Amino acid sequence: MVTLSRRLLRWLAGGASGRTRHQILAAVPVSRLLVLVAATVLILPRVLEPTFENPVALLGAIGLALGFAFKDYASSLIAGVVTLYEMPYRLGDWIEIDGAYGEVIAIGMRTVRIVTLDDTVVIIPHLKLWDRLIHNANDGTTRLLTVTEFYLHPQHDAAQVQRVLHRVALTSPFLDVSQPIAIVVQERPWGTQYRLKAYPIDPRQQIPFKTDLTTRAKAALADIGVAFATLPAVPDTAGLASWSVVTPSPVSRPRHRVE
């Protein structure tokens, strides 16, 4: 019966389109559950003797199984109530939980729903509140720090590069001029790392903002003859790609110039 109902519903879904097709496909697991429940109700009286002890033991086993099954569900509900009080995230916040980063679009009693930068909906149970780190990028405000990284060859004028990056950020159409611009410089074994920190006008502009900073900064750095650090990939003995840390040779002018 389960196989028959599944094939029937999928056959019906094949002849439909749009929202109707998705509604029919959503009925497949429901129909399977109804068939299994009906089969259980019909079979149990034939297998178990109608004594007082057997139904009591059966109900106890079912209650124990449901208790374990709904433990996480109940924990998520309780965490949802705590979320309403502590507000670790709100609608419009950009959060990251277990590697999933996106904008909060809905907060239910059991789950929080976010949309990632790749336009993927991720549903996260509130029980993550108990034992996971929750990263909130803007925490109920419109201020969301965007960090754009650049990796340059170590032989260059650091002060000049800082001025160029600051000018690039200051002239971006996405920049929130009321917030500060910061540039962090750190030496690495393979070169010099620059982290350009600035705030977009709206948190949803973080990707076009970072893209604008990256493209215009690359062109500006190429104009002053600054080379970028490179880490060429070489195959190892196992046939897998690995990174070989090398120091690029200094160049007098960039190989690629962005007009």
Find the DSSP H helices in the chain: 2-14, 19-47, 53-69, 71-86, 128-131, 158-170, 206-223
When comparing pLDDT for 179 and 53, which is higher?
179
Q: Are the C-beta atoms of 221 and 164 separated by less than 8 Å?
A: yes
CATH annotation of 88-136? 2.30.30.60
Give the Cα separation of 227 and 62 in Å (integer).
68
Q: Report pLDDT for 140.
A: 87
Q: Per-residue pLDDT tens for 202-230?
A: 999 999 999 999 999 999 999 999 999 88
Candidate ranges 58-67, 70-79, 148-157; pick with highest mean pLDDT? 148-157
Whether the CA torsion 29, 32, 38, 39 is positive or negative: it is negative
Q: Are the C-beta atoms of 227 and 251 separated by less than 8 Å?
A: yes
Lowest mean pLDDT among 23-27, 193-197, 216-220: 23-27
Q: Report the pLDDT averaged over residues 111-119.
A: 93
Checking if the pLDDT of 252 tops 60, the result is no
Fold match flag (88-136 vs 146-243): no
Q: Report pLDDT for 108.
A: 87
Q: Report the pLDDT averaged over residues 96-125.
A: 92
From the list 196, 193, 89, 214, the residue with the least C-alpha distance to 146 is 196
Residues 146-243, CATH architecture: 2-Layer Sandwich (3.30)
Q: Report the pLDDT averaged over residues 157-171.
A: 95
| Residue whose token pair is 């959503």 | 26
Polymer length of the chain = 259
pTM of the model: 0.69
Domain extents in the chain:
2-69, 88-136, 146-243
